[in-house]
């Protein structure tokens, strides 16, 4: 019904005034000989002309006679409120001529307050921020020429259908090696402009793109070689998250009550002197190191003061990212390391390059939402375990300050059941007490056995990260979780050269009560493979020895 009505409204003036042909008008108004406004003729807009010659003074034609919905929208825009009419932008008699764009009026726009203005304006037109958009998407095209150097498996190493930060860095490394920088990487920021008439006073905020991702929702990489391949990419790689005052309140500085003016005492950029006020001892270690002298000379070169998270809140990926800002070819430089990418999923750079730091093996809970994994948050647990619940007490049921393997199993199973989603335990080997000397280099000859050994330092500090209401708590966890059955199955860590079964563990099982034996055997878990294997091998050797002796005896 509405559609019919609209058609009638549009057609009405056409029907009423179709009687005066354009040629009759052009007899006097020659300059409009090339008149073009859709398929209309003069009298459809100048609809107060009923016969020729017409009156001297005519009414101003109304655009909304035909363009009603657009005019209604336009009324809400900043341009309308500034009393600009349709004619200020559109030449109504020659719609294709003299079409104005933003720059026609806003000639000297500088965007002084827009950070990285040049980069923003290079890739995006005005309406991306100032208009109403939807279905924004980023396209990254890499042209490798005729060479077909990268296969999908080489890009999406873990085959999860999404290129993450490490996989993107790996691709850069491959391209650099194979094409020596001749590859073309083009970035396109595509949006569908819902209506270019609706330009509001305030543009979208930085947060819309950088935090909430409401403008550009997804990114897609296309590699054009002999065969083109296309795969989604994590959009955070190209549109990084920005700090906000709300986020700042959750950072270490914010939580400790440090206010903006405590550091920003003038408009000048803050220097190390500002940081030294609180971090004097760390600065004392760092300032004389080779890294400080030749590389990052200021604290803020590595640490974004607005984004200062506690070390506990940074995962491996975030930690690696601090170093990677300068050491971009870190994957290429670590090609000597077998399973390079795999190592960087579990290790941060300083695990090796800062020998003075304390390393720990850290476990953390991860949930899977729609094929994406993310860290388990306190609010997830609060929803299913009750308000203000203390998670440390939920896990460490015997309250001895140490998470045992059966406590972990009980909690894991219960949480998984209540959350009703896939739950995992992610592992990493990270620094839990940093030492600010990162100058250790050329480690390839000796580093393997520092970690791939029973005596690796992180076995002395095994921790599980537990989300609490206001912070993240590291709880000590018993080393047996690594091999115990079944915890070791849902922990994604299996290091070459992990600790093997020891005689005292066997004798503990032999001496234990029958009631405790199954628990101790479970706790040994996968370590039993070596025990059973070596036992059978010894039995076989004994059998062979007896056989040899019998052969010799009988022969005599």
Partner 1 sequence: MSKIYLHPLPIRIWHWLNAFIIFVLIITGLQLRVPSLQILSDYRAVVLIHKYFGYAMCLSFIFWLIYYLVTGGIKKHYLIRIKDIKAMPSQFIYYSFNIFKGRKNPFTPSPNNKFNPLQKLAYSSVMFIFTPIIAITGIMFSDILMFFSWIEAIGGIRVLDAIHVAVAYIFVFYLLVHLYMATLGKRFYTHIKAMITGYEKE
**Residues engaged in binding partner 1 (CB under 8 A):** 153, 157-160, 336-339, 341-342, 444-445, 448-449, 452-454, 488-494, 496-497, 500, 526, 529-530, 532-533, 536-537, 540-541, 544, 547-548, 550-551, 554
Q: Give yes or no for a contact between 265 and 204, defined as CB atoms under 8 angstroms apart.
A: no
Whose Cβ is closer to partner 1: residue 122's or residue 152's?
A: 152
- DSSP label at residue 467: E
**Cα-based distances in Å from 178 to 99, 155, 174, 181:** 47, 14, 6, 8
Whose Cβ is closer to partner 1: residue 34's or residue 460's?
A: 460
Q: Give yes or no for a contact between 357 and 350, defined as CB atoms under 8 angstroms apart.
A: yes
The beta-strand segments (E) located in 123-183 are 132-143
Task: Report in angstroms how near the CB of residue 402 gets to partner 1 at its nearest.
Answer: 22
Task: Report in angstroms how near the CB of residue 375 gets to partner 1 at its nearest.
Answer: 19
Half-sphere exposure of 539 (CA within 13 A, CB side): 6
Task: Report in angstroms how near the CB of residue 474 gets to partner 1 at its nearest.
Answer: 23
Task: Report in angstroms how near the CB of residue 483 gets to partner 1 at its nearest.
Answer: 8
Whose Cβ is closer to partner 1: residue 298's or residue 339's?
A: 339
Whose Cβ is closer to partner 1: residue 14's or residue 448's?
A: 448
Whose Cβ is closer to partner 1: residue 103's or residue 548's?
A: 548
Whose Cβ is closer to partner 1: residue 226's or residue 551's?
A: 551
d(CA 493, CA 430): 13
Q: Give yes or no for a contact between 478 and 402, defined as CB atoms under 8 angstroms apart.
A: yes
Whose Cβ is closer to partner 1: residue 251's or residue 315's?
A: 315
Q: Give yes or no for a contact between 422 and 451, defined as CB atoms under 8 angstroms apart.
A: no
Task: Report in angstroms how near the CB of residue 500 gets to partner 1 at its nearest.
Answer: 6
**Cα-based distances in Å from 81 to 84, 192, 198, 219:** 7, 24, 11, 36
Whose Cβ is closer to partner 1: residue 109's or residue 538's?
A: 538
Radius of gyration of the chain (CA): 35
d(CA 351, CA 434): 10
Whose Cβ is closer to partner 1: residue 8's or residue 549's?
A: 549
Chain centre distance of CA 413: 29
Whose Cβ is closer to partner 1: residue 84's or residue 495's?
A: 495
Task: Report in angstroms how near the CB of residue 226 gets to partner 1 at its nearest.
Answer: 21
Task: Report in angstroms how near the CB of residue 521 gets to partner 1 at its nearest.
Answer: 15
Whose Cβ is closer to partner 1: residue 117's or residue 534's?
A: 534
Closest CA to 459 of 482, 487, 435: 482
Task: Report in angstroms how near the CB of residue 490 gets to partner 1 at its nearest.
Answer: 7
Q: Give yes or no for a contact between 489 and 478, defined as CB atoms under 8 angstroms apart.
A: no
**Cis amide leading into 15 (omega within 30):** no
Whose Cβ is closer to partner 1: residue 37's or residue 416's?
A: 416
**272 three-class SS:** helix
Produce one character per residue of 249-280: b if its CB has 16 or more CB atoms within 10 Å, e if not: eebebbeeebeeeeeeeeeeeeebebbeeeee
Q: Residue 361: CB partners within 8 Å, gap ≥ 6?
A: 427, 428, 429, 458, 459, 461, 462, 463, 493
d(CA 199, CA 191): 15
Helix axes 378-385, 405-419, angle to 10 degrees: 80
Please report the DSSP string for 402-437 in residue order.
SB-HHHHHHHHHHHHHHHTS-EEEEEEEEEEE--S-
Helices (H), 200-304: 206-210, 245-249, 252-255, 260-263, 272-276, 280-286, 290-294, 299-302
- DSSP label at residue 267: S
Whose Cβ is closer to partner 1: residue 251's or residue 483's?
A: 483
């Amino acid at each position: 019904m509405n559609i019919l009505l609209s058609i009638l409204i549009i057609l009405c003036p056409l029907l009423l005034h179709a009687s005066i042909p354009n040629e009759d008008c052009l007899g006097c108004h020659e300059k409009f000989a090339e008149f073009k406004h859709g398929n209309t003729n003069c009298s459809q807009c100048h609809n107060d002309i009923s016969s020729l010659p017409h009156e001297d003074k005519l009414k101003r034609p109304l655009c909304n006679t035909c363009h009603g919905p657009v005019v209604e929208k336009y009324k809400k825009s900043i341009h309308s409120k500034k009393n600009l009419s349709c004619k200020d932008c559109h030449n109504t008699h020659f719609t294709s001529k003299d079409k104005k764009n933003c720059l026609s009026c806003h000639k000297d726009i500088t965007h002084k307050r827009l950070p990285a203005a040049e980069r923003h304006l290079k890739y995006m037109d005005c309406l991306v921020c100032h208009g109403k958009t939807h279905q924004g998407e980023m396209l990254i095209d890499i042209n490798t020429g005729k060479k077909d150097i990268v296969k999908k498996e080489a890009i999406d190493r873990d085959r999860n259908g999404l290129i993450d930060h490490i996989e993107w860095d790996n691709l850069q490394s491959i391209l650099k090696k194979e094409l020596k920088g001749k590859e073309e990487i083009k970035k396109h920021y595509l949006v569908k402009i819902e209506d270019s008439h609706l330009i509001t006073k305030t543009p979208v905020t930085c947060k819309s793109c950088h935090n909430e991702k409401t403008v550009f929702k997804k990114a897609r990489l296309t590699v054009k070689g002999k065969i083109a391949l296309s795969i989604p990419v994590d959009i955070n790689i190209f549109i990084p998250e920005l700090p906000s005052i709300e986020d700042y309140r959750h950072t270490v500085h914010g939580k400790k009550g440090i206010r903006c003016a405590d550091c920003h005492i003038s408009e000048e950029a803050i220097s190390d002197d500002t940081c030294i006020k609180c971090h004097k001892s760390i600065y004392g270690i760092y300032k004389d190191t080779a890294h400080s002298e030749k590389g990052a000379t200021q604290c803020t070169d590595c640490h974004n003061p607005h984004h200062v998270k506690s070390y506990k809140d940074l995962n491996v990926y975030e930690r690696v990212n601090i170093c990677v800002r300068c050491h971009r070819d870190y994957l290429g430089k670590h090609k000597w390391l077998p399973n390079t990418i795999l190592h960087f999923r579990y290790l941060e750079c300083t695990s090796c390059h800062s020998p003075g730091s304390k390393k720990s093996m850290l476990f953390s809970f991860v949930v899977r939402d729609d094929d994406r994994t993310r860290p388990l948050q306190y609010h997830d647990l609060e929803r299913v375990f009750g308000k203000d619940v203390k998670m440390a007490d939920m896990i460490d049921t015997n309250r001895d300050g140490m998470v045992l393997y059966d406590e972990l199993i009980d909690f894991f199973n219960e949480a998984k059941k209540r959350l009703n989603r896939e739950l995992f335990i992610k592992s990493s080997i990270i620094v839990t007490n940093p030492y600010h000397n990162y100058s250790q280099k050329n480690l390839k000859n000796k580093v393997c056995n520092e970690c791939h050994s029973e005596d690796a330092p992180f076995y002395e500090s095994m921790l599980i990260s537990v989300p609490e209401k206001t912070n993240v708590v590291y709880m000590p966890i018993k080393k047996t979780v690594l091999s115990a059955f079944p915890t070791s199955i849902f922990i994604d860590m299996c290091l070459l050269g992990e600790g093997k079964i020891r005689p005292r563990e066997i004798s503990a099982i032999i001496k234990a009560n029958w009631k405790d034996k199954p628990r101790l055997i479970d706790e040994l878990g996968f370590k039993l493979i070596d025990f059973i294997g070596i036992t059978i091998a010894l039995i076989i050797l004994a059998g062979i020895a007896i056989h040899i002796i019998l052969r010799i005896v009988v022969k005599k």
